[in-house]
Chains A and B, each alone.
Chain A
Amino acid sequence: MAMIERDERKPYWRYTKLQMLASVVPFLVLVCVLPMYAEALNAHKLMGFPLGYFLAGHGIWLIALFTMATFVNRQDSIDHWHGANEDS
């Protein structure tokens, strides 16, 4: 049975907070900034799409998927490193 040591609780939570901020904040900044430049980016094209339109739809979706997948793996590593993981 995995059981976190008392001394490990604080470092575990510190790394967890940093991981949360590192995952959410850049994504939210991107979500707020990218649509502002969509019209300018539409002058270029990608896979036949106007670039601004493509990035706002498909692009942000792919980045969200990548961010989530990275977070799940990174957070799972943090859980195992500090002995906070679930029994499997």
Chain B
Amino acid sequence: MSTQHRTRLVNPRLGTYFGIFASAFVSLFLLLMILEQLETPSVHLKAAVLVGPIVLYLAIAAASRTSSASDFFAAGRRVPAVYNGLVLATSAIGATGIVAFTGLFFLDGFDTWAFAIGIFSGFLAMGIAISPYLRKYGAYTMPSYLARRFESRLLRLTAASIFAVPMALLLAAEIAMGVHAAALLTGYAQQPLALVFTAALAAMIVFGGMRSVGWVATAQSIALLIAIIVLAGLIGVMLTNLPLAQLSYGPVLRQITRIEDAQGMVTAARAVLEIAPSGRELTAITSRAASPEAAMGSLGFIVTTLAVTAGIAGAPWLLPRCATTLGVYEARKSLGWAIFFAGVVLITLSALAMFFRSIVMTELVGRSFVELPLWFDELVARGLASVEAGSSVLALGSFQFARDGILFAIPGALEFPAIVVYLVLASVIAAAFAAATATAFGLSAILAEDVFGGLRLGLERDAVRIGTARVMVVVVLAAGLAMYSTITADPVNLFLSAMALSAATSFPVITLSIWWKRLNITGAFVGMVVGFAATLGLMLVSASWQLTLAAPLAGIIALPIAVFAAVAAALATPAPRPTAQGAARDMRIPGGETVYDREMRLMRFEQRDTN
């Protein structure tokens, strides 16, 4: 057992390194702002905005290269809580959340909090009920954890097949959002940009696996925070005289409410279980900003919250990050940091959306068609907004906006320099990289460790394991690129489907495996398969019979079915073997050696003795 003091394992220069990155990122944009004033052609500025940060990310990835399996799959188990929390928050929200949630706050108002609350509660449930125990176990992937916890190769392959589905959906969504932002920035066609995006993703992962993914994602999260906090601060000072827009946009929201009252706007009541957030198409504002039931019925709001909660808590692409912390105590703390950073990001997005809604209501509504400002004409020209030129005085319902264009429209509406729009686009690309690397690496590790190497529970050399994982990164990203080209679904629907599948497959089985020692192989297998079949069945029935049964509802119906099936199957079959119960007992005690590391150490001894 290691007797080294835990804090000595942490690189003391981490703060310095990321301080240098933050300075370089800010300096790049200040330099570009100067060049913009010197009338440098915008094509050069856009190229610098796209390429500059990617070069910084690749430099960090190259500096994080490793040849040790512990580093490649678990970042050497020495990531401090604050960095782990930051990466968890960005990976969970992703570019889909950054872009779509801002649009949803603008169009649907209050109901968008269902997603945000789900993310907060998901991190809370993960931090209290799941992550400390998985950190003590220390497996590199979730199928690997289940296989070792229940001593079953069949379970490993089944879990790998089932968990890969939500991860693939999220990977496609993140590539779509990243490419959408890159296309808005450069004006190039999406297909070649998708190729560049996935090539950059591969380079960020292959050098150091989880180690490079973690440190690159930390830099990307810092870029994201700088962009949205600077933007919100600037707008806050302009509209409320206070830079802390997250806490000062209340009066702006009340002003919106007063205009809604003056226009006689009433939010039409939704069916109790309805879940219909605004889509990608041009949409008019038809509901009040601060009132519920714009997009969801009262129960629909709760169902969405709970589905996202269970989906995040059991997310097989986020849980392996728990194994990277210094220990169990740090794993708990890191989820506290994840809640903090997720809240900062989501509350900032809500502030930005409300500021833009206020601008729309004061600068567009009540004007005639010819009086509309130039920034709105530019939005119309780019296909991000439209207006029905029917009456002489335009009402709020005359305007339509594209959900995924709102975040990029905000700096233009305030006549900020173009470089501020580019900064926001760069931050969205950064968020897409952070979330896509998390899912792509998670999938690659599952393919390498659980599918390719899962037919034996024995131990390969580090070089073989890392080499296999590197090949799988390329395979996964090629598949992701193919999925991006073929799946045309709304990224928000892909996000919700991934949450529903995670909520009904991974969450119940992993939670039961920790908190119910009686769960055996049969119970875990049946729970996972039934949860997956029920969710998929409900989604397909909804699609074919036009039941408008939203994905979160399918997940929330399937979750108790999966729990019931797992419990019933476990009770109907013999109790687990004493060794499996011993593993469950070990992972419940924070002290002592990481279970997975001990097993690997013993295997190495056995192999040495055999040879």
Contact = CB atoms under 8 A, between A and B. Distances in A.
B44 interface: no
B120 A60 contact: yes
Nearest to A23: B128
B301 A12 contact: no
A27 B335 CA distance: 15
Interface residues of B, number: 56
Contact of A65 (B306, B336, B588): B336
B347 A57 contact: yes
Most buried by B among A20, A39, A61, A65: A61
B456 interface: no
Nearest to B118: A31
B292 A24 contact: no
Interface stretch (B171-179, B250-258, B410-418): B250-258
Contacts of A42: 290-291
Contacts of B305: 31-32, 35
Given A35-B113, A64-B120, A86-B328, A12 B125 contact: no
Contacts of A24: 124-125, 128-129
A1 interface: yes
Contacts of B254: 45, 48-50
Given A28-B121, A56-B117, A50 B253 contact: yes
Interface stretch (B188-196, B499-507, B569-577, B589-597): B589-597
A3 B128 contact: no
B311 interface: no
B117 A4 contact: no
A3 B290 contact: no
B197 interface: no
B449 to A, nearest CB: 26
Contacts of A83: 591
B110 A38 contact: yes
Contact of B339 (A9, A68, A76): A68
Contacts of A60: 113, 117, 120
A13 B125 contact: no
Contacts of A23: 124, 128
A48 B251 CA distance: 5
A49 B253 contact: yes
Contacts of B6: 86-88
A21 to B, nearest CB: 10
Contact of B290 (A46, A50, A85, A86): A50
Given A32-B305, A35-B292, A48-B250, A27 B339 contact: no
B246 to A, nearest CB: 8
A31 B336 CA distance: 17
Contacts of B214: none
Given A31-B305, A48-B248, A58 B347 contact: yes
Interface residues of A, number: 51
A20 B340 contact: no
B350 interface: yes
Most buried by B among A64, A71, A72: A64
A20 B129 contact: yes
Contact of B329 (A1, A64, A86): A86
Contacts, number: 149
A42 B5 CA distance: 52
A86 B110 contact: no
Contacts of A1: 1, 591
Contact of A52 (B114, B290, B327): B290
B302 interface: yes
Contact of A3 (B113, B121, B251, B591): B591
A54 B290 CA distance: 9
A19 B491 CA distance: 37
B555 to A, nearest CB: 16
Contact of B291 (A3, A39, A67): A39
A18 interface: no
Contacts of B125: 24
Most buried by A among B249, B291, B292, B590: B590
A49 B250 contact: yes
B250 A32 contact: no
A1 B589 CA distance: 13
Interface in B296-318: 298, 301-302, 305-306, 309
B588 A86 contact: no
Interface in B270-323: 290-292, 298, 301-302, 305-306, 309
Given A36-B298, A68-B339, A75-B332, A53 B592 contact: no
B253 A79 contact: no
A87 B591 contact: yes
Contacts of B515: 17
B340 to A, nearest CB: 6
B339 A65 contact: yes
Contacts of A72: 329, 332-333, 336
Contacts of A68: 123-124, 127-128, 332, 335-336, 339
A28 B249 CA distance: 27
Contacts of A9: 585, 589
A86 B254 CA distance: 50
Nearest to A88: B6
17 contacts: A2-B591, A3-B591, A9-B589, A27-B124, A31-B309, A38-B292, A48-B253, A48-B254, A49-B250, A52-B290, A53-B253, A57-B116, A57-B347, A58-B246, A64-B123, A71-B332, A87-B591
Given A23-B124, A71-B128, 19 more contacts: A2-B591, A28-B121, A35-B301, A42-B290, A42-B291, A47-B247, A47-B250, A48-B254, A49-B250, A49-B253, A49-B254, A53-B290, A60-B113, A64-B120, A65-B343, A68-B127, A76-B329, A85-B591, A87-B1
Interface of B: 1, 3, 5-6, 110, 113-114, 116-117, 120-121, 123-125, 127-129, 132, 246-251, 253-254, 257, 290-292, 298, 301-302, 305-306, 309, 327-329, 332-333, 335-336, 339-340, 343, 346-347, 350, 515, 585, 588-592
Interface of A: 1-4, 9, 12-13, 16-17, 20, 23-24, 27-28, 31-32, 35-36, 38-39, 42, 45-50, 52-54, 56-58, 60-61, 64-65, 67-69, 71-72, 75-76, 79, 83-88
Q: Which 3 A-B pairs have the closest CB atoms?
A: A48-B250, A49-B250, A61-B343
